[in-house]
Amino acid sequence: MNDGIFTVMFYLAAIIAVTAAWGVIYCKNLVHSALFLALCFIAVAGLYALLNADFLAAVQIMVYAGTVVILIVLGIMMTRRVSMDRSNVMEKSSILGATVVSLLLLVCLLLIFLNVSFVDSAVNDIQDTVGALAQLLLTHYVLAFEIAAVLLLSAMIGAIVLAKGADEK
């Protein structure tokens, strides 16, 4: 593909990510905020894919957009609320504060990007990131990989025991 299409896709994914992030903050329904968060994570995965970081894009979708958002939605659904219509209502002072901080951050980022010169470096030697990571994880870091797997398994078993209730028989 040519550079024009990549530029359009980048700006489209960036606009979707920023709009979804604003939706997370300003949406009055907590479930809708969680769904906007999933959309934001998917847009960030699209940005990773445009940067040829295919493994990070897949992890972003599987871990964040899949697991984390589903856990947040389940946590929201499991809590007892009378009504979900206005479950994420913010005060006007916090909205004003968030807007001011966002504008200050935008001004700082614009100042940084306008004063930094970027070097156009063409990367011709793009390798398979998944294969390289798998090679490292299954050879050099295999012990740490296995320890992390056992630790995650024990955390999952502990969460199941806590959710079920230790005193139930």
pLDDT at 92 over 80: no
Where is pLDDT greater, at 120 or 24?
24
Q: What is the pLDDT of residue 42?
A: 93
Buried b (16+ CB within 10 A) or exposed e, 59-79: ebbeebbeeebeebbeebeee
Name the residue among 30, 39, 27 with its Cα closest to residue 77.
Answer: 30
- What are the tens digits of pLDDT across the range 143-167? 988 998 899 899 888 888 877 765 6
Q: Six-digit token pair at 162?
A: 């806590």
- Name the DSSP class of 85: T
Please tell me the CATH code under which domain 1-96 is placed. 1.20.120.1200
Q: What is the pLDDT of residue 147?
A: 93
Q: Which residues contact 39 (CB under 8 A, 6 or more apart)?
A: 16, 20, 23
Please answer whether residues 94 and 33 qualify as being in contact, where contact means their C-beta atoms are separated by less than 8 angstroms.
no
- What are the tens digits of pLDDT across the range 32-88? 888 898 999 999 999 999 988 888 888 889 888 888 888 887 777 777 666 655 556
pTM here is 0.61
- Structural domain spans, the chain: 1-96, 126-169
- Tell me how far apart the 2 most distant CA atoms of the chain are, in Å: 66
CA-to-CA dists, residue 24 to 9, 18, 52, 80, 111, angstroms: 22, 10, 27, 21, 27
pLDDT at 126 over 80: no
- What are the tens digits of pLDDT across the range 18-30? 999 989 888 878 8
Q: Six-digit token pair at 20?
A: 């979804």
Q: What percent of the chain has pLDDT over 70?
A: 83
Q: Six-digit token pair at 116?
A: 């930094």
